[in-house]
Structure 1
Amino acid sequence: MAGPGREVRARVYGNVQGVGFRIWARDEATSLGLAGWIRNEADGSVTTRIAGLDEAVSTMIERLWKGPSGALVSRVDVEELAPGNTFVEFRIVA
């Protein structure tokens, strides 16, 4: 990652499971050059960890509010983290 880096953990609430949200998020993150992971949570939310250039991370957070067609996002909680993880790609995890 060149330039200023940023890392966040975001939890997305609403109708975000069973609508292709994780696959959509992986594709969006990859297109922005981001790394990290995304997973479904037992309460119906989705958690993602995103690392990359500051502008790309900000763009991804904005996109999380929309999601894929079929998703209905009601809330996105974002926690700033200290950059430094060595993610090499964006993955869907169990």
Structure 2
Amino acid sequence: MFASGASRRCFLLIVFLLCAIMSRSGVQGGANLCSVDFEVFGNVQGVCFRMYTEDQAKKLGVSGWVKNTRQGTVVGQVQGPTDKVREMKVWLSKVGSPSSRIDRAVFSNERDIPKLEMRGFGTRY
């Protein structure tokens, strides 16, 4: 198949580089995925926080859910590529909906996952 050892080495180098590029871009099946639960405290109910959370999650392409609690907080779960989940964590703790006031966001049960456990992002009641 290969005319020389140099051709074989060149071929192997190209395969290695393509694998590295695919891995960094998340194309490969083993893309780094994670899941995290969250609870957001402050003035986060009655200010469209869930709607904006769902919108932001869809923009980032992460999966999960969000809902209000009886204690006046908002809870949920986010799953997706680690960098996108990280962006969502920043949004949940610093940005929120325009009329909200975030006192703090608590993240728990953060873990790597081999594949997404849910599809899409929605509001639960």
Of structures 1 and 2, the larger Rg is shown by 2
CA offsets 1:28-63 (integer angstroms, 9 cap, x no match): 001101001000000000001000000000000000
**How big is the shift at 1:4?**
0.1
Match of 1:37 in 2: 65
Distance 1:82 1:39 in 2: 23
Tell me the amino acid that sits aligned with residue 56 of structure 1.
K
| Percent identity of paired positions between Structure 1 and Structure 2 | 29
- List structure 1 segments (4+ residues) > 4 angstroms apart after TM superposition: none
Q: Secondary structure at the match of 1:6?
A: strand
1:93 aligns with 2:124: yes
Tell me the amino acid that sits aligned with residue 76 of structure 1.
A
Give the aligned length.
Answer: 94
1:52 aligns with 2:80: yes
1:75 aligns with 2:104: yes
Higher strand share: 1
Q: Which has the higher contact order (CA 8 A, sep 6+)?
A: 1
Higher helix share: 2
CA RMSD, aligned part only?
A: 1.5
Distance 1:5 1:82 in 2: 6
**How big is the shift at 1:81?**
3.7
Task: Show structure 1 runs of 5+ residues with no match.
Answer: none
Distance 2:80 2:112 in 1: 12
Report the TM-score when normalising by structure 1: 0.93
CA offsets 1:11-43 (integer angstroms, 9 cap, x no match): 000000000000000000011010010000000
Q: Secondary structure at the match of 1:36?
A: strand
1:26 aligns with 2:54: yes
Report the TM-score when normalising by structure 2: 0.71
Distance 1:18 1:12 in 2: 14
